[in-house]
Structure 1
Amino acid sequence: MRIYDTQAQRVVDLELRPGEEIKIYTCGITPYDAAHLGHAAVYVTFDVLARHLERHRQRARCVRNVTDVDDDILRKARELGTNYLDLAAMEIAQFDQDMTALGVRRPAVEPRATSAIAEILSLVQDLVDSGHAYEVDGWVYFSVASEPTFGSISHLDRDTMIALARERGGDPDDPRKHDPLDFVLWQPSLADEPAWESRFGPGRPGWHIECSALAMRELGPVVDIHGGGSDLIFPHHECEAAQSRAITGEPFVRHWVHVGMVRLDGVKMSKSLGNLVFVRELLKEVPAAVVRLALLSQHYRTSWDWTGGLLEEARERYGLWRAAGTGDGAVDEVDAALDNDLDTPGALEAIDRAARAGRGVSEAARMLGVEL
């Protein structure tokens, strides 16, 4: 199988070791609002990847975290006048319902950031002790100058990284930092925020350190495939890779895989902008398999615009496939398409051809997680 590796900046042969478990870590949701199509595109992609690996007798252990404590969820809980964990529980339940409807299988583990405070503090302490991090007034920062590989995931120049950090909550203007690109590992909590005791004072974790702690706890020091939306390449995955390598002394991830953004009217869907198409609303209009087919009609690496026309095309495709009945038409073609950098649009077209030729396509559809 070949897949695009973000760090290598090219399609590469996936490193598969026969008989060994493939370790996959996908960055999950911050549960303060409903799942939208951008989320669904990411998790459907990784679901198809895991299904394809398992079809070829590769055991896949999939881990997807939940960021249940960070600035966003605490701000939303404050606005609603509710406990942040109650808000998380409500949104996680809805998210799980939406993903199950879309045919996204549950990961082996869905660990929460709040479950790993001990591991997080241990990693932060190791980074301070080794000179990769420093403390200022209860804040602990990772020193990017201490890790020469910083920047090797995103391949961005310094000015671009600073601009993105400012846009995405990295606060490069923080006067406590030695370098604008240094990032928070631990921070003091505000009066109405949850706090855990530490040698640095009561506080809570920064964003990036949770994924290193959870991935290492659940999968070990090296992950085979790690990914999420392409908006996570910087700063999240860049920072995660740097701090993890500083801890273990070896590359944290063998293959970085990222999914393009879903746009609405040319603008990336995001909670902060409020320009969202929610999965739960689409499921009121069409069968879940139709939504999944609409997502699979776009190659995972591309960013694309959501339109109602895509849903209508998917509805027609679903009807065509169901009318074709059961059978193994297009199975080999779908297998070859998925081997070729998860070419789901090519796989759909192959199934369309088989269905129009009167061949049953239920087995090929199932390879994509679509039940007819």
Structure 2
Amino acid sequence: MTIKLYNFLTRKKENLKPLKKGVVGLYTCGPTVYSFAHIGNFRAYIFEDILKRSLKYSGLKVKHVMNITDVEDKIIKNASVSGKTIFEFTKPYEVAFYNDLKKLNIEPAWKYPKATDHIKEMISVIKALIKNKLAYKADGSVYFDVSKFKKYGKLSRLRKSDFPGKSDFHRTDSDEYDKSSAQDFVLWKAKKGGEPSWPSPFGEGRPGWHIECSAMSMKYLGKSFDIHAGGIDLLFPHHENEIAQSEGATKKRFVKYFIEGEHLLVDGKKMSKSLGNVFTLRDLENKNFDPLAFRYLLLGARYRTQLNFTLESLKAAQISLGRLQEFVLSLKLKSAGERFSEMTKAQILRGLAQSRHGGTSRAILQQENMRAGAKSGAKALESASDNFQIAVSNDLDTPKALAQVWGVVNEYNKNGKKYDAGEVLGLLLEFDRVLGLGLADVREPEKPSDEISQFLKEREEARKVRDFTSADLLRQKIYDLGWEIQDTPDGPRLKKI
């Protein structure tokens, strides 16, 4: 299976041809751990997970590196306000990030390098840029001279009019800035009072944000590697600056394919704290949503198209995921029964055949009909498998891939006698190697004991008469017994902890 991906460097779909046969080097921009990652961030991380899973599905080995930014402007500011060091401040958010990845069934990266562990590598890249006359010192800091790098702007398609020319007024110390002007960006920031700093040949200071990814990606994947992926908001200046730094230092092509995922909107607007429309995974869980329902929702849109998130669309996704999980569970139970009784069925058919004298027995006819049905069923499954591969290989077309899943479900519900439940289950689990909905882990839900059910009933009675003290005590009793109450518009539900 050859995968086609939309390469932002060329603005067209291209067949993926790894630099090293059978192995893909993949670098993705990870979180800046100054707060909990929000669902807009996770849209990028889930698309990158689908990309990695698809590469593996096609038979390739993937060396995936995702950085953790643990020093930059926002981290320093927020750590200072909280009265903590940057290490004390970022650690809880880093731990929360890894936990969120597990909840969303995002496969772990090969490496999670942290910026503060790679200062030496960053200094080496900056020294190479100074040597190659692409960087200069000013006011104790070091800046990249964009006018000296002739290919600057090739990713973001900057125009010559965007280049302001040489001036102190066109240098920036900010990690993030607008595309309206191509400024000389900071590689190393001079030490400021109250900020963390490290020794360097350029003086005490700390790295700029962009240099982190250049240094860490090249350390683990080499000076040239296959794929760099991230959200579209990072295309400029971050990804553009990474190219300039890396190619300016090594004089080699940095990355062969740049893959960028589009924004997640909330109720038609960009997520913003000022608008109060930023959701974290915790926010969704507190509203009784399964994190995998969010993953399912994202599969319904191409990664290169904007997606509008609403709680109503998430609720619909949760219902659909629940239906799929119930179907998979029914296949698991049925296929287990089929395996158990297969020998018995064969013996019965043989016995019926032998009991007839002359002519073709009814049992033999039944057997032939079963074989014919199985043959047509096998063709249908093979067709679904082929179509799934076509969808995945066409720039990760997850809506069409998901359609194949439901095509198999609907076909089995209509013509179940044609199919072996185990084979259908196997195909869906094969699809889920890419989709990552955790279907292999679907289990029959544990039922609460009579005691817990009675406590739940008593709690509802207490709530009706507004005896909230008793209701809270009963909730705690139920929790202590290993169950959590989820109050929904349709009534309370119990969830095993």
Are residues 6 and 335 of structure 1, via their aligned partners in 2, closer, same or farther at CA, if it must alter by over 3 Å? same
Give the C-alpha shift of residue 332 in structure 1: 3.0
- Matching residue of 1:233: 235
Q: Which amino acid aligns with 1:336?
A: I
Are residues 349 and 216 of structure 1, via their aligned partners in 2, closer, same or farther at CA, if it must alter by over 3 Å? same
Task: Decide which of 138, 141, 144 is 2:140's aligned counterpart.
Answer: 138
Give the C-alpha shift of residue 51 in structure 1: 1.2
Task: Decide which of 322, 327, 330 is 1:324's aligned counterpart.
Answer: 327
CA contact (8 A) 1:21 1:59 kept: yes
Matching of residues 1-372 of structure 1 within 5 Å? 1-16=3-18, 19-157=21-159, 169-170=176-177, 181-269=183-271, 275-284=277-286, 285-325=288-328, 326=331, 330-358=384-412, 360=425, 361-372=428-439
Give the C-alpha shift of residue 186 in structure 1: 0.3
Q: Which amino acid aligns with 1:211?
A: C
Give the C-alpha shift of residue 268 in structure 1: 2.3
Query: Distance between the aligned counterparts of 2:273 and 2:200, measured in 1?
Result: 32
SS at match of 2:187: strand
Q: Which amino acid aligns with 1:169?
A: E
Give the C-alpha shift of residue 156 in structure 1: 2.8
CA contact (8 A) 2:6 2:12 kept: yes
Give the C-alpha shift of residue 16 in structure 1: 3.3
Give the C-alpha shift of residue 289 in structure 1: 2.0
Which shifted more, 245-254 or 264-273? 264-273
**What do residues 59-90 of structure 1 show as CA deviations (whole Å, max 9, x unaligned)?**
00000001100001111111222211112111
Query: Distance between the aligned counterparts of 1:198 and 1:19, measured in 2?
Result: 39
TM-score, normalised to structure 1, is: 0.91
- Matching residue of 1:176: none
CA contact (8 A) 1:317 1:352 kept: no
Query: Distance between the aligned counterparts of 2:162 and 2:78, measured in 1?
Result: 29
SS at match of 2:245: helix
Query: Distance between the aligned counterparts of 2:142 and 2:69, measured in 1?
Result: 19
Q: Which amino acid aligns with 2:82?
A: L
SS at match of 2:31: coil
Are residues 252 and 273 of structure 1, via their aligned partners in 2, closer, same or farther at CA, if it must alter by over 3 Å? farther
Which shifted more, 346-355 or 15-24? 15-24
CA contact (8 A) 1:69 1:84 kept: yes
Are residues 48 and 239 of structure 1, via their aligned partners in 2, closer, same or farther at CA, if it must alter by over 3 Å? same
Give the C-alpha shift of residue 140 in structure 1: 0.4
Give the C-alpha shift of residue 322 in structure 1: 2.2
Give the C-alpha shift of residue 217 in structure 1: 0.5
SS at match of 1:283: helix
Query: Distance between the aligned counterparts of 1:172 and 1:291, measured in 2?
Result: 31
Which shifted more, 142-151 or 16-25? 16-25
**What do residues 312-357 of structure 1 show as CA deviations (whole Å, max 9, x unaligned)?**
2212221232233248954332222110100111111221122122
Query: Distance between the aligned counterparts of 1:170 and 1:83, measured in 2?
Result: 26
Which shifted more, 323-332 or 3-12? 323-332
CA contact (8 A) 1:196 1:202 kept: yes
Overall identity of the aligned pairs, in %: 35
CA contact (8 A) 2:175 2:209 kept: no
Query: Distance between the aligned counterparts of 1:33 and 1:331, measured in 2?
Result: 41
CA contact (8 A) 1:228 1:257 kept: yes
**What do residues 71-118 of structure 1 show as CA deviations (whole Å, max 9, x unaligned)?**
011111112222111121110100110111100011000001111111
Query: Distance between the aligned counterparts of 1:272 and 1:25, measured in 2?
Result: 32
Q: Which amino acid aligns with 2:194?
A: D
Query: Distance between the aligned counterparts of 1:345 and 1:300, measured in 2?
Result: 10
CA contact (8 A) 1:32 1:73 kept: yes
Give the C-alpha shift of residue 161 in structure 1: 7.8
Query: Distance between the aligned counterparts of 1:171 and 1:323, measured in 2?
Result: 48
CA contact (8 A) 2:73 2:175 kept: no
Give the C-alpha shift of residue 166 in structure 1: 10
Query: Distance between the aligned counterparts of 1:364 and 1:115, measured in 2?
Result: 38
Give the C-alpha shift of residue 283 in structure 1: 3.0
Query: Distance between the aligned counterparts of 2:126 and 2:91, measured in 1?
Result: 27
Query: Distance between the aligned counterparts of 1:52 and 1:274, measured in 2?
Result: 35
Which shifted more, 44-53 or 282-291? 282-291
TM-score, normalised to structure 2, is: 0.69
Are residues 245 and 300 of structure 1, via their aligned partners in 2, closer, same or farther at CA, if it must alter by over 3 Å? same
Identify the structure with bigger relative contact order (alpha carbons < 8 Å, sequence gap 6+): 1
Give the C-alpha shift of residue 221 in structure 1: 0.3
Higher helix proportion (structure 1 or 2)? 2
Q: Which amino acid aligns with 2:155?
A: I
Are residues 152 and 172 of structure 1, via their aligned partners in 2, closer, same or farther at CA, if it must alter by over 3 Å? closer
SS at match of 1:141: strand
Q: Which amino acid aligns with 2:129?
A: L
Query: Distance between the aligned counterparts of 1:99 and 1:3, measured in 2?
Result: 24
Query: Distance between the aligned counterparts of 2:215 and 2:386, measured in 1?
Result: 40
Query: Distance between the aligned counterparts of 2:91 and 2:266, measured in 1?
Result: 28
Give the C-alpha shift of residue 168 in structure 1: 6.9
SS at match of 1:108: coil
Give the C-alpha shift of residue 270 in structure 1: 5.0
Query: Distance between the aligned counterparts of 2:391 and 2:182, measured in 1?
Result: 43
Query: Distance between the aligned counterparts of 1:338 and 1:6, measured in 2?
Result: 19
5+ residue gaps, structure 2: 165-169, 333-377, 413-423, 440-497
5+ residue gaps, structure 1: 174-178
